[in-house]
Structure 1
Amino acid sequence: MSQKIAYQGEPGSNSSIACTEKYPQMVPVPCARFEDALAMVSSGEAELAMIPIENSIAGRVADIHTLLPQSDLQIIDEHFLRIRFDLLGLPEASIEDAKEVYSHVHALGQCRGLTNSLGLTPMVTGDTAGSAREIKEWNDPTKLSLAPPGAAEIYGLKTLAQGVEDDQTNTTRFVVLAPKQDFPTREDLPSAVMTSLLFRVNNIPSALYKALGGFATTGVNMVRLESYMVGSGFTATQFMADIEGHPQDEPVRLALEELAFFTSEVTILGVYPAHPHRQLDSSDQREFAGASNR
């Protein structure tokens, strides 16, 4: 029996594309919410979950800082997906007669140039591929959808325009989640490794400066840092960080020791291979953008 990987969205969405790109041998299982996808893994109904965590244009996608600690799962890998959108309509639809365009809020924001130039009214839906399904169900040729390539075939629509996203380097980073297990040792992973963690500091002067001092002195590169308020009292702040390196690497070990000294809580969310996309320079990333999903 094939293993399953859960994702939030509908067939044909970017999350489903990420699943088949990363794990072509697994069966993607659509879920209505991120929580549902994680719950499938926690219950054993699926082996993995694919969750979008950040987009190069829209920024933060999923509130993984709250979802992951509550799920009893951990990050075991990451995947970068070049994001593309096509303009879809019913077989009899035309751009000239269109009035509204439907899609997820992030997709609409990433295709403003097209919608503005065509004078279309943007309408928010819960999912990119879901908007394609709804266009088919509504059977109204004046309504169009912004959806990933492949959604037209799935839902029986016509592609009116291809690659309509504003930024041709638009990329989403996904994390792969699995049940908690021992973190892989340094010897089990390639040289390029990422470690994701949560830590909490009190809301006092210099708290973050002191907490991060160890990363500066040991030369550990922190590639992502996001803050979240804890509770309703606004007296403590939680941070999610991604750093380069393995906790067994001496610089990382020393930096984490320093971090623990100045924080009230440190939780490692995952230790996993760094995606090759991280090693690309700007010109290589443009090449990746042109090649991905062809």
Structure 2
Amino acid sequence: MTSTAANRGSTPPRPAIPFDPNTSISPPVATKLGSELAVHKVGYNGRPGAFADVACRMAFPSADRIALPSLETTIASTVRGEVDRILLPCENSLVGRVPDVHRIVPDSGLHIVGEHFQRVEHCLMAPPGASLASIRRVRSHPVALGQVSRLIAALDLEAIAAPTTSHAAELVASCKDPSEAAIASDVAADLYGLDILKRNVEDDPHNTTRFYVLSAEPQAVEQKTQLLTTIVFRTQNRPGCLYHAIAGFAENGINMTKIESYLVGGQFVPSRFLCEFEGDPATSEVADALDTLAHHARELVVLGTFPMASHHLRNRSEEKLSSWGTKPPAAFRWSDGQQEADR
């Protein structure tokens, strides 16, 4: 993570990191920067069977997964070198951003080195021998219960909150009561010996959680790949300051993909802004935009630059097709989610 002083011309140069194809990550399965040691341990906040566990299995299939009890201990395990990477959820397509991650990560000293999009597929599960007709109560995390409201109404179930989805699965497994059910992942059903009565019971089929992949060291990136950079900043508390602070992105033709404000320190002002944009601070265009931002900012921290996941490119293609109708104009063809002028 790189901190930038809020004075024009004081932006420190980004460390030169020689590109090594063995350390580039997209998706985030890579070796540690400056080392040939593979990622052996990946930490996540939660319990085995939680969706963070599922995300780790998908993003790092060959790594050992370490379940950790809190965000703070998850971050500390990376700082101490006990794990090589951690996955932290940063936003969900239905419920929005994960506030604690936004609060903790900017001050952690860690670097965002990748991203992973995990489809959330809720399963209705119960002890062996139970059936849809026998269940009367369903347990899960409150957010998960809210995402399966149609199922709960259709089966006329009593919804009971649990600390996590995996907690719910473990509790239902331990009671062995055919009237009890849980909403959790298929991994949780397998871990706790529950039968899946119904799969994909979520109300919205597009329910997806985005995870940041974080490391104690920055990650080498290939300049030819499409990159995202994540920053946080605070502006001066005066009219027009935010407008002028981010003007450099438009002036340099940089696509800003996200900007949102959030409160820190229990105070309503000044807000902190989290921003993501396409590009690398090593390029002159991005460096100029960040220099303009730093001139108007009280704080500017670069959290990381990393390869853009295919999820972004796919969505961009769908947006283009939607704006054009059923297919793009004949003057364009598609390659890896990007338009190219026909020659």
TM-score (norm 2): 0.77
Per-residue CA deviations over 1:118-157 (Å, capped at 9, x if unaligned) read: 2222222222222111111233322211111222121011
1:203-251 Cα deviation digits (max 9, x unpaired): 4322322222222222211112221123344331101111111112232
Give distance in 1, aligned partners of 2:246 and 2:288.
12
Q: Are the aligned partners of 1:189 and 1:272 in contact in 2 as well (CA < 8 Å)?
A: no
Q: Paired residues, what number?
A: 282
| Range with greater deviation from structure 2 (234-243 or 1-10) | 1-10
Kept in 1, the 8 Å contact 2:90–2:102? The answer is no
Distance 1:209 1:120 in 2: 50
Q: Are 2:280 and 1:246 aligned?
A: yes
Q: Which structure's CA Rg is the greater one?
A: 2
Q: Does 1:184 align with 2:241?
A: no
- Secondary structure at the counterpart of residue 238 of structure 2: coil
Letter of the aligned partner of 1:229 in structure 2? L
Extract structure 1 runs of 4+ deviating beyond 3 A. 281-285
1:129-144 map, 5 Å: 129-144=166-181
Matched residue SS, 2:186? coil
Larger relative helix fraction: 1
Distance 2:269 2:95 in 1: 28
Q: Shift in Å at residue 96 of structure 1?
A: 2.3
Counterpart among 295, 306, 316 of residue 272 in structure 1: 306
Give per-residue Cα distances to partners, 1:27-52, cap 9 Å, x unaligned: 01111212221111111111110111
- State yes or no: 1:122 paired with 2:164: no
1:93 pairs with one of 107, 130, 149: 130
- 1:69-84 equivalent positions in 2, closer than 5 A: 69-84=106-121
Displacement of 1:256: 0.9
Q: Report if aligned partners of 1:94, 1:160 keep a CA contact under 8 Å in 2.
A: yes
Deviation at 1:197, TM superposition (A): 0.6
Distance in 1 (CA, whole Å) between partners of 2:226 and 2:171 is 42
- How far the C-alpha of 1:261 sits from its partner, in A, is 1.1
Instruction: Please list, as runs of the form range in 1=range in 2, the aligned pairs for 1:9-48 lying within 5 A after superposition.
Output: 9-48=46-85
Deviations 1:99-124 (A, max 9, x none): 22111222122212211222222222
Q: Which residue in 2 is equivalent to 1:154? A: 191
The structural deviation recorded for 1:5 is 0.5
Separation in 1, partners of 2:205, 2:255: 27
| Alignment partners' CA distance in 2, 1:44 and 1:213 | 39
Following superposition, the deviation at residue 4 of structure 1 comes to: 0.8
Aligned to 2:89: 52
Q: Which amino acid aligns with 1:210?
A: H
- SS for the counterpart of 1:177 is strand
* Cα pair 1:9 1:130 within 8 Å, conserved: no
TM-score (norm 1): 0.89
Q: Distance in 2 between matches of 1:56 and 1:223?
A: 15
* Aligned counterparts of 1:120 and 1:132: Cα–Cα separation in 2: 16
Amino acid across the alignment from 1:52: P
Secondary structure at 2:134 match in 1: coil
Distance in 2 (CA, whole Å) between partners of 1:17 and 1:82 is 10
Aligned counterpart for 1:236 among listed residues 267, 270, 276: 270
Shift of 1:13: 1.7
Question: Any conservation in 2 of the 1:72–1:180 contact (CA below 8 Å)?
Answer: no
- Amino acid aligned to 1:141: P
CA 267–117 in structure 1, closer or farther in 2 if over 3 Å, else same: same
Q: Is the 8 A contact 1:51 1:62 kept in 2?
A: no
- Could you give the per-residue CA deviations for residues 176-227 of structure 1, whole angstroms, max 9, x where no partner exists? 111034x636xx3442101011101234322322222222222211112221
- Of residues 71-80 and 216-225 in structure 1, the stretch that sits farther from structure 2 once superposed is 216-225
Gaps of 5+ in 1: 286-294
Describe the shift of the 1:194–1:133 C-alpha distance in structure 2 as closer, same or farther (beyond 3 A): same
- Supply the distance in 2 between the matched residues of 1:189 and 1:100 (Cα, whole angstroms): 53
Extract unaligned runs of 5+ from structure 2.
1-37, 320-343
Read off the aligned partner of 2:220 and give its amino acid letter: P
Give the deviation of 1:266 after TM superposition: 0.3
In structure 1, C-alpha distance between the alignment counterparts of 2:115 and 2:267, rounded to whole Å = 34
> CA RMSD of the aligned region, Å?
2.1
Q: Which residue of 2 aligns with 1:227?
A: 261
**TM-fit CA distance, 1:274:** 0.7
Q: Distance in 2 between matches of 1:117 and 1:221?
A: 44
Aligned to 1:291: none
Distance 1:161 1:136 in 2: 16
Percent of residue pairs bearing the same amino acid type: 35
